[in-house]
Amino acid sequence: SIPLSFFAGIGGASKEGVLVKGSNYLEALSEAKYIVFDKTGTLTKGVFEVAGIHDAVIPEDKLLEYAAYAESFSSHPISRSLCKAYGKEIDQTRVSDVNEISGEGVTAVVDGTSVAAGNIKLMKRLGIECKECGSVGTVVHVAVNGSYAGHILISDQLKPHTKQALEELKKLGMKKLVMLTGDAKRVAESVAKEVGVTDVYSELLPADKVSKVEELLEKKPVKEKLVFVGDGINDAPVLSRADIGIAMGALGSDAAIEAADIVLMDDDPLKISKAIHISKKCIRIVY
Ligand code: ADP
Ligand code: MG
């Protein structure tokens, strides 16, 4: 039978906007020692803004148009920002052969011209040599007809409570705060430093995130639980693999909400420490 205080705990959590899918997750949460975060949409807002266009070998507005058109079928935060920066209505009948490669970018045919937009990994795989970008930010390289056409620098911002959330987690005695991201090393390291994450792994594909979590699961004592927190864009598999998967409910995808054990209704990372706090209180009452 489930002790009554667990029901109170689940109820208390839900009043805070934290949806716990079962009392077993509340119990596990009270033993959390490792918190693994996704970056984009979890620690950061996942709302990118175009900060600049560099090394363009075609007119800059044309470069942005190609990128926005190629990205117009994607729901990734990067795609949304490019379409927003383009500003005009997009006639999707001009786009065909769309292929979205998770953790890399997209390829598509726009007005009969092949366009690729994404990170260095995508460019490498297509055999396109690309220019390094000197600034810190997420870079979308664009290739047109198989040749490098320039890159668009976009920047994201931390969520307002991210730093405080990590401080609270440290106070609660977490052993490791880890960040996993598909984004470039430079961006990952600057975000990690700013928020106080101790371990950072960058340039990971969704499958690499799963292997990284499996590696961490193997190394730690069974009694110490591992939590993964993600927005679920590309990380539903890792949400289910962790001892406890926490998803952002507002920005997150349906797949993430489905795969998660706990859902934060308002996407506020500060709710993670609140939930752990509630779980510990329940456990003290039960035992
Ligand atoms: P994170 O792990 O930070 O949440 P994702 O796994 O969603 O990020 O994406 C990882 C990286 O893959 C991005 O930083 C970007 O470089 C590239 N990427 C993914 N989707 C797209 C896209 N639609 N357009 C351009 N680049 C993309
Ligand atoms: Mg993400």
Half-sphere exposure of 84 (CA within 13 A, CB side): 13
pTM: 0.87
**Nearest ligand to the C-alpha of residue 71?**
1
Q: Which amino acids bring their CB within 6 angstroms of ligand 1?
A: 38-41, 71, 74, 76, 78-79, 103-106, 117-119, 138, 140, 181-183, 233-234
Pick the range with the lowest mean pLDDT from 54-63, 79-88, 242-251: 242-251
Any idea what the Cα angle at residue 220 is, between residues 216 and 221, rounded to 5°?
155
Q: What is the per-residue pLDDT for 34? A: 98
Q: Which atom of ligand 1 is nearest to the CA of 187?
A: 14
pLDDT of residue 287: 65
Which runs of E-coded beta strand occur in the chain? 18-20, 32-38, 49-54, 95-101, 105-110, 113-118, 138-144, 147-155, 176-180, 199-201, 225-230, 244-248, 262-264
* pLDDT bracket for residue 116 (50, 70, 90): very high
- Dump pLDDT digits (tens) for 129-178: 988 777 778 999 999 999 999 999 999 999 999 999 999 999 999 999 99
Q: Whose CA is nearest to atom 4 of ligand 1?
A: 40
Residue 1 pLDDT greater than 70, yes or no: no
**Which domains, from first to last, does the chain contain?**
4-44+159-286 (3.40.50.1000), 49-155 (3.40.1110.10)
Q: How confident is the model at residue 286, as a pLDDT?
A: 67
The stretch 253-279 carries a mean pLDDT of 91
Compute, in angstroms, the gap from residue 248 CA to the centroid of ligand 2: 10
Q: How many whole angstroms from 109 Cα to the centroid of ligand 1? A: 20
| C-alpha of residue 77 to centroid of ligand 1, in Å | 8
Which residue minimizes the CA distance to atom 12 of ligand 1? 103
| pLDDT tens digits, one per residue of 39-66 | 999 999 988 999 999 999 999 999 999 9
Which atom of ligand 1 approaches the CA of 206 most closely? 6
**100 Cα nearest atom in ligand 1:** 23
Cα three-residue angle 75-211-78, rounded to 5 degrees: 20
Active-site residue list: 38
pLDDT of residue 187: 92
Q: Is the pLDDT of residue 262 over 70?
A: yes
Pick the residue whose CA is nearest to atom 17 on ligand 1: 104
Q: Name which of 158, 162, 76, 159 is nearest 117 in CA terms.
A: 76
Centre of ligand 1 to C-alpha 188, Å, is 12
